Amino acid sequence: MTTPTPGAHGSPSGATGLEASPGPRPRRGIARILYAPADRFRTIVFDPGQSRSFGRDDRADVQLRDPELRGAHFELLFDGECFHAWLLSGSTGLAIDGLPAPFGEVASGGFLVAGRTTFGLHVEGAASSAPPAPRSDEALRALAPSRAAGRLYGVLDQARSPRVGALLAASVDEQASLYDGAPAAALDDVAPYLVRFDPSSRLLERVLHAGWGDAFGVFLASGEPFRQVRRHLRRFLMIEEVPSRERYYFRFYDPRALREFWPIATPRQRGEILGHVERDAREGSVVDSLYWEAEDGGVDRADAVPDAHVDRPAPEGRAHVPHP
């Protein structure tokens, strides 16, 4: 869902992973599709000074599946501080922050509409960071190696604080709501969001410093693609208790709920949460490690056990994990 930026910076090597985002770097621009006929949550990242054309076909740098757009409909330029948008020759239909305009400047946090596609435009890290939360550096040391390897995901709960949404919006990291369908758009402000922490991004530091200890979410290490991790986790939004077959919401992404559930969970229940996957003719788990806030502010961790019995996945939305 994230369109790679030409010349994007890779992750430096390091034994701890804490060096994954060295020193200050120019902040990037972020154009994220919020509402569209297709490609919702797609993220296009701009380096300072970079411009791109948007349209329906290969005449545009960024192609959108929107029948109301021309082949090359409009251009976006990120100057390092804000965006500049303008219609291309022969095109009509562009709105900036709700007002029709053939061209204009868009500040971080602004909106742009072309055809049936709405973009949110942000500058990376524009949501200012709070003072570091207690023990957030300890959490960073535990999570940084997985981030440096490109294997760190988080499930962050926007219902906990508006700050979660602000941090996600001002990040280049691949992300999507765990909710699906048209009604899900109305719940964006309170939805759990899956995010894959980019090794070149400092979103992890911002999330931990702002929300460690405030139940912003949980973290997991996985070598699986974003789409597969999201599909797996969606199975646990609603769970079915055995044998009553009653269904419940399961806030597994709330560390307070997870630290109550995990100690009493059976091996089978833990196996369902960690998931099952076949890799190159061998079996493994979707989730290799799961991390959440401990009650004392430290880091709790659960690892997949090699060769442990793990049931194959039930159909999506039919997980049999009892209500915690």
**Residue range 189-227, pLDDT digits in tens:** 899 999 999 999 999 999 999 999 999 999 999 999 999
Task: Kindly state whether residues 187 and 241 are assigned to the same domain.
Answer: yes
* Inside any domain, residue 308: no
Q: Is residue 21 part of a domain?
A: no
Can you tell me the mean pLDDT for 47-65? 97
The answer to whether residues 117 and 182 belong to one domain is: no
Same domain, 60 and 161: no
- Cα 273 to Cα 255: distance, rounded to the nearest angstrom: 14
Whether the pLDDT of residue 85 is over 70: the answer is yes
Domain that holds residue 205: 136-303
Judgement on whether residues 113 and 224 belong to the same structural domain of the protein? no
**159 and 47 in a common domain:** no
- Do the beta carbons of residue 122 and residue 108 sit within 8 Å? yes
Paired strand residues for 122:
30
Tens of pLDDT along 296-319? 999 999 998 765 444 444 444 444
Q: What is the mean pLDDT of residues 146-154?
A: 98
Work out whether the CA dihedral 57, 63, 64, 69 comes out positive or negative: negative
Q: Are residues 119 and 176 in the same domain?
A: no
What would the pLDDT profile of 220-275 be if each residue is shown by its tens digit? Answer: 999 999 999 999 999 999 888 777 888 888 999 999 999 999 999 999 989 999 98
**Tokens describing residue 294:** 């401990």
Phi, psi of 207 (to 5 degrees): -65, -45
Within a domain: residue 19? no
Same domain, 8 and 35: yes
> Which helix (H) or strand (E) covers residue 112, if one does?
strand 110-114
Q: Is 192 helix (H, G, I), strand (E, B) or coil?
A: strand
Torsion of CA 306, 312, 318, 324, to 10 degrees: -20
d(CA 231, CA 234): 5
- Which CATH number covers residue 119? 2.60.200.20
Reduced DSSP (H G I as helix, E B as strand, rest coil) percent helix, strand, coil of the chain, to 5 = 20, 30, 50
pLDDT of residue 25 exceeding 70:
yes
Residue 324 lies in a domain: no
Smallest CA-to-CA distance from 11 within 122, 167, 152 is with: 152
- Give the DSSP per-residue string, 222-261: --S-HHHHHHHHHTTSEEE-TTT--EEE--TTSHHHHHHH
Given 55, 88, 123, the domain boundary residue is 123
Instruction: Tell me the CB-side half-sphere exposure of residue 216, using CA atoms within 13 A.
Output: 25
- Examine residue 159 and state whether it is found in any structural domain, yes or no: yes
* Together in a domain, 225 and 284: yes
Q: Is residue 322 part of a domain?
A: no
Same domain, 78 and 140: no
Pairing of strands 74-78, 51-55: antiparallel
Per residue in 133-148, pLDDT (tens digit) is 999 999 999 999 999 9
The domain boundary, picked from 123, 155, 173, lies at: 123
User: Looking at the domain assignment, is residue 323 inside a domain?
Assistant: no
Q: How far apart are CA 210 and CA 128, in angstroms?
A: 10
Does position 7 have pLDDT exceeding 70, yes or no? no
Q: Is residue 294 part of a domain?
A: yes
Q: Where residue 53 falls among pLDDT bands split at 50, 70, 90?
A: very high
Same domain for 142 and 261, yes or no, is yes
Count structural domains, the chain.
Answer: 2
Same domain, 143 and 277: yes
> What residues contact 41, with CB distance under 8 A and at least 6 apart?
1, 32, 33, 175, 176, 177
Q: Residue 219 and residue 83: Cα distance in Å, rounded?
A: 32
Residue 221 dihedral angles phi and psi, to the nearest 5°: -105, 130
Do 146 and 282 reside in the same domain of the chain? yes
Band of the pLDDT at 129, cuts 50, 70, 90? low
- Alpha-carbon gap, residue 93 to 150, rounded angstroms: 39
C-alpha distance from residue 39 to each of 33, 286, 322 (Å): 7, 24, 34
Looking from the CA of 278 toward its CB, the CA atoms found within 13 Å total 5
